[in-house]
Amino acid sequence: MIAFILRRLVQSVIVMLAVALVSFALFRFVGDPIASMVGQEVTLAERAEIREALGLNDPFIVQFWNFIARAATGDFGISYRLQQPVMELILSRLPATLELALVSGILAFAFGVGFGVYTALRRGSWVSGTIMTVSLIGVSLPTFLIGVLLIWVFAVELQWLPSFGRGETVYIGNWWRTGLLTESGRASLILPAITLGLYQMTLIMRLVRAEMLEVLRTDYIKFARARGLSNRAVHFGHALKNTLVPVITITGLQMGSIIAFSIITETVFQWPGVGALFIRSVQFVDVPVMAAYLMLIALVFVVINLIVDLLYYAVDPRLRVDRANAKS
Amino acid sequence: MTEFTPDESRPNALARAWDSDIAYSFRRSPLAIIAAVVSLIIILAAVFAPWIAPHDPFNPATLNLMDGFTPPMEPNAFTGNVYWLGTDNQGRDVFSTILFGARISLFVGFMAVLFAMVLGITLGLIAGYRGGWVDSLLMRVADVQLTFPSILLALLIFGVARGFIPPAYREAMAIWVLIVAIGLSDWVQYARVVRGATMVEKSKEYVQAARVIGAHPAKILLRHILPNVMGPVLVIATIGLALAIIAEATLSFLGVGVPPTQPSLGTLIRIGQGFLFSGEWWILLFPSLTLLALALSVNLLGDWLRDALNPRLR
Amino acid sequence: MSTPILSVRDLVVEFPTRRGTLRALDKVSFDIAEGEVLGMVGESGAGKSLTGAAIIGLLEPPGRVAGGEILLRGERIDNLPPEKMRRIRGRRIGMVFQDPLTSLNPLYTVAEQLIETIRTHIDLSEKDARKRAVALLDRVGIPAAARRIDDYPHHFSGGMRQRVVIALALAAEPELVIADEPTTALDVSVQAQIIDVLKEICAERGASVMLITHDMGVIAETADRVAVLYAGRLAEIGPVRDVIQRAEHPYTVGLMGSIPTLTQTADRLTQIPGSMPRLNAIPQGCAFNPRCTRVFDRCKVDRPELIARAGGRQMACWLYDAAVQGEAENV
């Protein structure tokens, strides 16, 4: 197991380095870094001086190393567009994105597992049929279109919920601005969370259903029934637990997708998060923000992957046998 | 249903499959027929847009601002002109913009799929044939790439590529950058299928024989493998087309895809969203419905194709 | 004679399919007496396992009992509501499956699975159930049971796992145990041990056993009586010694001839020509008639019912019909 984790760690480091290389290349080769920092009136000689001072004449490896060293401390420079330190910008918007992603993830998991189990156990009932058909449409609908349609129905026509922004927010601690503690904040969260979670929910639901049907056919479920265990114990004690092993992996990985897809949802609902910031930076070719976001999203994925691997070990005792063997 | 073996003569095997099983399964699946008809109508309408469209939405000379915000099927208050699906703020006929928008969406979609397919097949062949570290490297990259959602990847690639293109060319190159970005985000599945088939085939005797007589084995492989993987590749490509159309629409909706001068369906929806609150619902609704119909029917077609070509997977 | 533990009367199991209904079991009748071990033999697909599944009420849909009765100590159980049938499973009828590697839930410890089963049927505290579970494991021959009980199934070898499965099947002291090929998936070296454990423990608790297997050696050593199934029909049933040593039904004769023995010397094993018919192509008359060496006209027209013979044997074969026998004596 240790070896496995180590291998995954090495792989993660390589992925991070590759992404760092792309980010660095963006920084170094897109536009003229000097031009974006100083005014027109600076002379060529002065420019050359700044060049030297910034280390832009150093060998590639040295520059790359410096870039990584700075990135590791969260220094990605100043946004071209907003003239603020990039890390400050990202940190101030991170709570909005994380709150949205977390609520969507919980919604997607709860309803995905619930509907998945239901449609697996009540196969052939009309309710299951309806859920499955609707989910097929859910998978084919682009996320942004779901958002737009929800706004139309619930914000424009029914006027039940706000269509944009986070509502009222309050600070928790120094920098975490939350919308979860105010009524308008929670109301503002509903539509974006549904939009973001719907696709993941249908994925989880279909996965749970397929896995559950698979598990229900296994010998140990037959044996559990033959021992006279109640349906409840068989379905929820035995079948569901075994179903959740692969589902946890996928769901964990979906958390990464949720954060990624928040780019789209945040744009639709003008949600002041990191994703919306990134889209603006792509439109304006705001390289420092783009580079930082690239690194951030890669880090999120790598960390989530590692956590999922560890979770897998926690849930499935069969995988722990390696460790037992290694000890003896 | 029998499987075709590699020894059967290729064109016959394909023709036979097309004549019998596929066609039979198609006739028996009403959903597939509807999906095919809808896709075909949209594709044909897009291809022949310049001839079908009642107006040229991009020619300022034919536009009349007085026609702006005409509701569908109602005469305009000032000019009395009637438009099927209404007009937008600049007096552009929504029906015509949809036709031209679908044309751009489909162009980007097809080109991206083609790019992904060629790239995937080439890399798959190389990985399968060369084996060793080349194979490990390519498959490792594929694994890592698969952990990222393809729309995000396309978006990131697009953003990075846009950064590298000099500002003067950004608008002109946007569509091609978009195609490459979407294509690059979706080559892995082709490569996997082709790699698997290549590894099976390369140990067979005819490849050794080809080597003995001095022919390049890779060429032989290509000729033998491609027909074998036609089915799966077709399935991947069809579902890939739906994905590519959605990816393009998403990026364009976000305002980072095609330039505003060449609006795709995604761009039209973006524009339409702006008029939701002022009540001009048709500017949003009709492009949305078109995109929905297109994505859903191509998706259904892909699903059906997968089941029809591989009944055991059902 | 007291009421048998299990009584199966004209059991019919059908599978409705798109191309008509398949009859997988056709009027199967037999009894299992108190403390008796009944062997059930036949080729793959003859309906051995289905008989077991039908008795315990776990036929895979769309399979269903379409006729006949199943009586447990004289009470009908084939038409019980699901909840009542569930209470019988494990409590009054236990079942051991073929593959111990897949019969246990990999995510629960042996203790968890045993305690859950015990407490489902018997009103015991967690602690008492655990004590009982340890005793059971000890009884089925798991060394250091008190310690190993908290291990997961994958920590046990195949043979040990099958012992765990037996412990689980017997956890609530059922009156009847259905063992469906309990040793087929195991190493030859542990097969005998498992059969011994199963037989001993059932004898000890007075449980009857229905032992489904295609291993005639196991039957010869373990069973009191044996039932031979062919194409979903009972061909012969009788005391194990008689059936094995003086096989009379032509199918049983063929089946015995195809088994190698150490005591007899034969140049080659006999083989039954052809193969068992598919369920959708069972011939008219006796299902065995196309392969039978002693077939005659009547076999191809009428289906033979079970005919009682001396020594408690029953046979479904026209050769042993009184009329035919009479003719034979006249010649």
Domain boundaries, chain A: 87-285
Interchain CB distance below 8 Å, B160 and A290: yes
Are A267 and B246 an interchain contact pair (Cβ–Cβ within 8 Å)? Answer: no
Interface present between A and B (3 or more CB pairs within 8 Å): yes
User: Considering chain A, what percentage of its residues have pLDDT values greater than 90?
Assistant: 7
pLDDT given at position B8:
44
Which pLDDT does position A262 carry in this prediction? 87
Cβ distance A26 to B160 less than 8 Å, yes or no, reads yes
Q: B16 Cβ partners below 8 Å, 6+ apart?
A: none
Largest CA distance in chain C: 74
Residue A326 has a pLDDT of: 39
Taking CB atoms and an 8 Å limit, are B160 and A294 in contact across chains?
yes
How far is it, in rounded angstroms, from Cα B124 to Cα B143?
A: 13
- CATH topology for A87-285 is MetI-like fold (1.10.3720)
Using a CB-CB cut-off of 8 Å, the residues of chain A touching C171 are 227
Residues A226/C89, Cβ–Cβ less than 8 Å: yes
Tell me the average pLDDT of chain A.
82
Cβ-contact C178, C94 below 8 angstroms: yes
Confidence of residue C129 (pLDDT cuts 50, 70, 90): very high
C117 pLDDT more than 90: yes
- Of A243-247, B42-46, C53-57, C138-142, least confident by mean pLDDT is A243-247
B chain contacts of residue A35, beta-carbon cutoff 8 Å: none
| Confidence check: pLDDT of A52 > 80 | no
Residue C134 has pLDDT above 90, yes or no: yes
Substitution target from A8, A10, A12, A148 for chain B, most B beta carbons within 10 A: A148
Lowest-pLDDT choice from A13-17, A224-228, B204-208: B204-208
Q: Please, which pLDDT band fits residue A319 given cuts at 50, 70 and 90? A: low
Across the range C42-62, mean pLDDT stands at 87
Domains of chain B and any CATH numbers: 25-313 (1.10.3720.10)
Nearest chain A Cα to B285, which residue? A149
Q: How far apart are CA A260 and CA A298, in angstroms?
A: 10
Q: What is the pLDDT of residues A208-223, one digit of tens each?
A: 998 898 898 888 999 9
Of B148, B156, B299, the CB nearest to A140: B299
Strand partners of residue C177: C94, C209
What contacts B26, CB < 8 A, 6 or more positions away? B32, B33, B36, B304, B308
Nearest to B69 by CA among B287, B285, B268, B279: B279
pLDDT tens across A157-181, in order? 888 888 787 877 778 777 788 877 7
Contact between chains at A301 and B147 (C-beta distance less than 8 A): yes
Q: How confident is the model at residue C320 (pLDDT cuts 50, 70, 90)?
A: confident
Q: Which chains does C contact via 3+ CB–CB distances below 8 A?
A: A
Tell me the average pLDDT across C16-20: 77
3-state SS assignment for residue C76: strand
A118-132, A251-265, C230-244, range with the lowest pLDDT: A251-265
Residues of C in contact with A230 (CB under 8 A): 86, 120
Chain B CB contacts of A214 below 8 Å: none
For C105, the closest of A226, A230, A238 (CB atoms) is: A238
What is the predicted pLDDT for the residue at B1? 40
Closest CB to B295 among A140, A256, A264: A140
Q: Which residue has the higher pLDDT, A323 or C281?
A: C281
Token couple for B153: 């990847």
Quick one: which of A307, A308, A310 has its CA closest to A319?
A310
Mean pLDDT throughout A112-116?
92
Top residue of A144, A281, A301 to mutate, by most chain B CBs within 10 Å, is A144
Mean of pLDDT values over C303-312: 82
pLDDT score, position B3: 43
Q: Which amino acid is at C133?
A: A
**Mapping DSSP to helix (H, G, I), strand (E, B) and coil, where does residue B275 land?**
coil
Instruction: With CB atoms and an 8 Å threshold, state whether A257 touches B160.
Output: no
Judged against a pLDDT cut of 80, whether residue A42 lies above it is answered with no
d(CA B267, CA A70) in angstroms, rounded, equals 38
> Does C91 touch chain A if contact means CB atoms closer than 8 Å?
yes
CB contact under 8 A, C104 and A220: yes
List chain B residues with CB under 8 Å of A143: 250
Pairing of strands C233-239, C75-76: unpaired
What element of type H or E holds C225?
A: strand C225-230
Question: What tens digit of pLDDT does each residue of C174-220 get?
Answer: 999 999 988 888 888 888 888 888 888 888 888 999 999 888 888 88
pLDDT score, position C164: 92
Low-confidence ranges of chain B (pLDDT < 50): 1-9, 312-314
Q: pLDDT at position A151, please?
A: 87
Chain B residue numbers with beta carbons less than 8 Å from the beta carbon of A284 are none
Please tell me which of the candidates C87, C90, C107 has its beta carbon nearest to residue A242. Answer: C107
The pLDDT of residue A11 is above 90: no
A222, A227, A316 member nearest C117 (Cβ): A227
User: Which residues in chain C are contacts of A220 at CB distance < 8 A?
Assistant: 102-106
Q: Name every residue in A having a CB less than 8 A away from some CB of B.
A: 11, 15, 22, 26, 29-30, 137, 139-145, 148-149, 151-152, 156, 163, 253, 256-257, 260-261, 263-264, 267-268, 278-279, 281-283, 285, 287, 290, 294, 297, 301, 305
What per-residue confidence (pLDDT) applies to A325?
43
pLDDT at C23: 87
User: Smallest CA–CA separation between A328 and chain C, in Å?
Assistant: 13
